[in-house]
Amino acid sequence: MTPASTTGAVAILDDYQGVALDIADWSALGDRLTVSAFTDHRSDLEALTHRLAPFSVVVAMRERTPFPRELLARLPNLRLIVTTGMRNKAIDLAAARQLGITVSGTDLVGSSTVELAWALIMAVARDIPGEDRRTREGVWQGTLPLLLADSTLGILGLGRIGQRIAALAQAFGMTVIAWSENLTDEAAAAHGTERVSKQDLFERSDILSIHTLLSHRTRGLVGARDLELLGPDGYLVNTSRGPIVDETALVAALHGGVIAGAALDVFDIEPLPAGHPLLSTPRTILSPHVGFVSRRAYQVGYGQAVEDIVAWLDGEPVRVLNSSS
């Protein structure tokens, strides 16, 4: 089956906010492919296989739905996956190539993650959700907030996003320290930060913000001992990926007062299921993985997904992902 002769349908997955069909011009596909958007999430292999079996094209929003070999092998009609972003560790690219499935990507608008991360830093330092709740309950001024200008921000991962967070912290008068496995003194100094050891990062930070990629090396990178080093006056902010932090250790640390609090946009399981332990932890701010979400980000992601599908149908080059992405 060649792209130019393909007839079938497009599945847009995990459109939680129900915006995909309106935010991009899918009419560019003409009558060659019909388009269906799914606002709910399927994680069970059997259920996901049943849902995707009729589709020749899938549009994936970031890494919300993984595509391991086992799933790809069950979808003989699937010929194209378009993911928003040019990096998606949840897709088995080697298996896709072997099965004749093209995987393409789109640009990302990264500034929204920076904005959300800084909003969570401000919210946890000032306990804005708690003050809002107490004000509505008739309690006036319940917090002695952390003054950022007197504080130290620790950044775990001084990459593209971490560098912008460092600049914002410096604008607020914070001392900024950073650590990652490959960070050098020179690279840290170039962004106004001090490179420290991992232990020092947690011991010295008033707020610790995570900005590293999830990989086999960083899964569980932040564990119970690190949280103990952060201490009862320290806050953890994670807008990167949930599994970087040992979630069981984090829940225990929050219930036990080991750390002062946490602000989280990412989790081991997404969406968070009912009754999840983090839903009842004290001193915790939760947001539903919206760090990368903005109207502009969706316009770019879904708009370029349409462009990739049209190019694929016409037998023209698409933005192909590869294993180094």
Lowest-pLDDT range of 153-157, 215-219, 248-252? 215-219
- Structure confidence at residue 110 (pLDDT): 63
Catalytic site residue 211? no
Q: How sure is the predictor about 262, in pLDDT bands with cuts at 50, 70 and 90?
A: very high
Q: Give residue 114's identity as a one-letter amino acid code.
A: V
User: Is the pLDDT score of 112 beyond 90?
Assistant: no
Q: How sure is the predictor about 325, in pLDDT bands with cuts at 50, 70 and 90?
A: very low
Q: How sure is the predictor about 111, in pLDDT bands with cuts at 50, 70 and 90?
A: confident
Please give the Cα distance from 291 to 239 (Å, whole number). Answer: 6
**Pairing of the two strands 207-210 and 194-195:** unpaired
User: Is the pLDDT score of 4 beyond 70?
Assistant: no
Instruction: Name the catalytic one among 194, 270, 276, 283.
Output: 270
What is the pLDDT of the chain when averaged over all its residues?
94
User: Is the pLDDT score of 2 beyond 50?
Assistant: no
Q: How sure is the predictor about 324, in pLDDT bands with cuts at 50, 70 and 90?
A: very low
Average pLDDT over residues 190-194: 97
Is the CB of residue 12 less than 8 Å from the CB of residue 36? yes
The whole-angstrom distance between residue 53's C-alpha and the CA centroid of its chain comes to: 27
User: Is the pLDDT score of 12 beyond 90?
Assistant: yes
Lowest-pLDDT range of 150-159, 165-174, 231-240, 316-325? 316-325
Instruction: Name the catalytic one among 241, 247, 307, 319.
Output: 241
Task: Give residue-wise pLDDT tens across range 78-95.
Answer: 999 999 989 898 999 999
Catalytic site residue 137? no
Average pLDDT over residues 215-226: 96
- Structure confidence at residue 8 (pLDDT): 82
Please give the Cα distance from 36 to 43 (Å, whole number). Answer: 18
Assign residue 91 a region (left: φ > 0; alpha: ψ between -120 and 50; beta: otherwise).
beta
Instruction: Name the catalytic one among 62, 79, 211, 289.
Output: 289
C-alpha dihedral, 91 to 94 to 98 to 100, nearest 10°: 40
Average pLDDT over residues 138-156: 95
Tell me 245's DSSP state.
B
- Structure confidence at residue 321 (pLDDT): 82
Q: What is the pTM of this model?
A: 0.89
Q: How sure is the predictor about 5, in pLDDT bands with cuts at 50, 70 and 90?
A: very low
Domains detected in the chain: 3-109+294-313 (3.40.50.720), 111-286 (3.40.50.720)
User: Is the pLDDT score of 310 beyond 90?
Assistant: yes
Q: How sure is the predictor about 1, in pLDDT bands with cuts at 50, 70 and 90?
A: very low
User: Is the pLDDT score of 232 beyond 90?
Assistant: yes
Is the CB of residue 163 less than 8 Å from the CB of residue 111? no
Task: Give residue-wise pLDDT tens across range 18-69.
Answer: 999 999 999 999 999 999 999 999 999 999 999 999 999 999 998 999 999 9
Catalytic site residue 186? no
Residues facing 47 on adjacent strands: none
